Structure 1
Amino acid sequence: PPGSRFLIDGEPTGSKLATGTRGVLRVRLRARGRAGHSSAPHLFESAIDKLIDALVRLREIALPSHPMFGGTFYTVGLIEGGVAPNVVPAHAAAEILFRIVGDAGDVLRAVKTLEPLVEVEDVLRVPPVRLHTVPGVPTESFPFTTDVPLLSAWGTPLLMGPGSFLVAHTDEEHVALDEFDASIDLYVRLMTELLAGV
């Protein structure tokens, strides 16, 4: 709420305080071709082939690095294209999520070197963040992104919670009860130390 001095976001960090998290840049690549019968591919232009070429080139692009976060990396999360196996595809697209370590514009400029092979659409940007820590509490930087940048009006952000992000979005997502119980004491300690310093 407005007027809060601190915000503790409870994302799974193994009960360590995060020193920072990566940001994200989500882009959509669109390839356009010319549809036709697949028995005469030389007369038409495959959008899927163009998209594949762009994705292969993307692997060769140098992406930014940062001393705390390491290198930028990405996942091609969605690919779509074509209408039937016997038709040279006129359209293809891929959505890519970059885990960024600095300015999203630097990564976007690098990806735009794939044009005009594909169109590059900037879909979403969330900046990387450095976070407040408390002396004596174990810390680590994390490769994921949170909603902390959207909650700046809620006070100085801290990030800590029980569990591991490595099992997030899997069938094994869980938090061990003993870690959950121990995190309660850690949250109380954090709040006590933070409020004592105010």
Structure 2
Amino acid sequence: MDPLAAPIVDLARALIDIDSTSGGEAAVTTWLARDLRERGYQVTEQPVVDDRVNVIATVGATEPETVYSTHIDCVPPYFPSRLEGDTLYGRGACDAKGILAAQIMALDRLRDSGENRVGLLVVVGEENGSHGARAANRLSNRSRYLINGEPTDNRLGAATKGAYRVRLSATGRAVHSAYPELGDSAVEKLLDALVALRDLELPVDPVLGATTYTVGVLSGGVAPNVVPPVAEADVNFRTVEPAARVRERLDASMPGSVSIDDVMIVPPVRLTTLPGFETAPFSFTTDIPFLTSWGKPLLVGPGSIHVAHTAEEHVRIDELVESVDLYEKLARDLLAAES
């Protein structure tokens, strides 16, 4: 491994090796706050819920104009870091502890060069409810730009799709399965609705592409020998327009025997880009819709979203190192533009 890469790899591994599955981030935020104080930053630990906190770092008492941000929680299952050749593996390697390490290194460079208009916001709970981002959005600040970190292969995000989750529910009447004509199958009703989904005309956007959906969870029935009285399906749409447009189509297309309940709405986002940087649209959602008070949003980070949340989550070390330069240049360009 290139000796120049050792500091960022060491920091990333230290973060990865503290389990921070969403909801259990207390140990890693305690470690992070201490590390940032030892680096000389002014650190605030913002309570979120129970023992969970967001960590905010600034250069002295100066309120930052450009803020790096990412999340410190991860999806399960946890597995520790390991190095294999030029690649760092571990839960959070690319989503998003490797990113956090790169942002801290970029922040160090800027601070050491005399730049004090930058800061860092690290939130909990991005993978499950965005509780940290929602809490951070209630804080007053002077930030004009938010450089949010997610795995984008070091490309600036042009836009991200939204997420719209609905629950389709059907009810019926339970009877002995030997006499189905006396009952009313909720599962059959739900199946009719799921088949109708396939013919749904969903919105298309020239940048983000098509709205897509996944039937993520199915449940129904009480026993194999009983006509099922209940059935449900959770359907997750990746949206390119307001969720209301999808709901209109659902209301017009779903059979009346099935009810539709909204579970979650995250809007699609158009992002800030800069000339000279490669850009791309992304289908995943981020905390950005819940951090609107932190300035114009940018999205970028090392690693691929295609390996995030997998058993082989990883990031290439050279990409990790490159991202430090990228984060530093982005902040300098944004600050120069404001000046």
2:213 pairs with 74, 77, 84, which one? 74
Letter in structure 2 aligned against 1:179: E
- 2:229 pairs with 1:90: yes
CA deviation map 1:126-145 (0-9, x unaligned): 11111001110100011111
State the 1:83 CA deviation: 1.1
CA deviation map 1:120-165 (0-9, x unaligned): 0011111111100111010001111111010010111100011111
- 2:323 pairs with 1:190: no
1:131 pairs with 255, 267, 271, which one? 271
* Count of residues in Structure 1 that have an aligned counterpart in Structure 2: 198
Distance 1:142 1:134 in 2: 17
Distance 1:78 1:197 in 2: 47
Distance 2:284 2:257 in 1: 30
| TM-score w.r.t. length of structure 1 | 0.97
State the 1:52 CA deviation: 0.9
Distance 2:220 2:296 in 1: 44
Match of 1:144, SS state, is coil
Distance 1:117 1:18 in 2: 41
1:39 pairs with 178, 183, 186, which one? 178
State the 1:167 CA deviation: 1.3
2:289 pairs with 139, 144, 149, which one? 149
State the 1:71 CA deviation: 0.9
Asked if the contact 2:143/2:294 (under 8 Å) is kept, the reply is: yes
Letter in structure 2 aligned against 1:176: R
Match of 2:169, SS state, is strand
State the 1:115 CA deviation: 4.0
State the 1:110 CA deviation: 0.9
Distance 1:78 1:147 in 2: 24
| TM-score w.r.t. length of structure 2 | 0.57
Distance 2:263 2:304 in 1: 28
CA RMSD, Structure 1 to Structure 2 (Å)? 1.0
- 2:154 pairs with 1:18: no
Asked if the contact 2:171/2:230 (under 8 Å) is kept, the reply is: yes
State the 1:176 CA deviation: 1.6
State the 1:19 CA deviation: 0.4
Identical-residue share of aligned pairs (%): 53
Asked if the contact 2:217/2:233 (under 8 Å) is kept, the reply is: yes
Aligned to 2:258: 118
Distance 1:177 1:167 in 2: 15
Aligned to 2:244: 105
Structure 2: tracts of 5 or more residues without a match:
1-138
Distance 1:44 1:152 in 2: 51
Match of 2:261, SS state, is strand
Distance 1:41 1:165 in 2: 47
Asked if the contact 2:192/2:255 (under 8 Å) is kept, the reply is: no
